[in-house]
Amino acid sequence: MKVLLIGIQGAGKSTQGNFLSEKLNLPYLSTGHIFRELSKDKSVDGRFIKETINAGFLVPDELTIRVVNEYLQRPEYRNGYILDGFPRTIQQAKSFHEKLDKAFYLKVSDKEALWRLAGRDEYREDETLKAIKKRIDLFHEVTEPILDFYRQVGILVEVDGEKTISEVSENIYSHLN
């Protein structure tokens, strides 16, 4: 099974992705985690990714597509996966040739997302208020159009991401039969 999680930063994608991974015994792949790891690298790509995400911008489509495709060639993803953070643009969605089974949109308000992010225990270099606000704006401008793309393909499920963690999980599981 190949499942996609879509939502603004703070929507609960990592939480639900990890739950789904455990329940379905599938690996969880987050481009956010991948890019944070790559940004530690002193290579040209690593430095570029670090500057890009710390400023709140999206990593360009070509680089994102290349990195995700490289990861998905690994044996652990052969039988399925939970994907978070990709695709984020129409170009990425159209360039992604994997057949997804479901795309879950964890819908939360900007206010709720900011409140959740402010309450996180861990500090991340890419989570300054300015960067977070920029990423939320980019989500509405660039990522929301892919919702229609997956709706037309017939795999999009909208989930009220402002419910409790267990209610959101139950809603997702109920659509995976």
pLDDT in tens, 104-146: 999 999 999 888 877 766 766 666 777 778 888 888 999 999 9
**What pLDDT score was predicted for residue 121?**
67
Q: What is the CATH number of the domain that holds 108?
A: 3.40.50.300
Model confidence over 87-96: pLDDT tens digits? 999 999 999 9
Query: Would you give the distance in Å from CA 91 to the centre of its chain?
Result: 16
User: Using CA atoms, how far apart are residues 60 and 65, in angstroms rounded to an integer?
Assistant: 9
**What pLDDT score was predicted for residue 15?**
94
What's the domain range around 32? Answer: 2-174
Model confidence over 37-59: pLDDT tens digits? 999 989 998 999 999 988 878 89
Note if the bond before 75 is cis, omega within 30 degrees.
no
Model confidence over 6-36: pLDDT tens digits? 999 889 999 999 999 999 999 999 998 899 8
Residue 137 DSSP class? H
User: Using CA atoms, how far apart are residues 145 and 95, in angstroms rounded to an integer?
Assistant: 15
In the chain, the number of structural domains is 1
**What pLDDT score was predicted for residue 11?**
93
| pLDDT mean across residues, the chain | 91
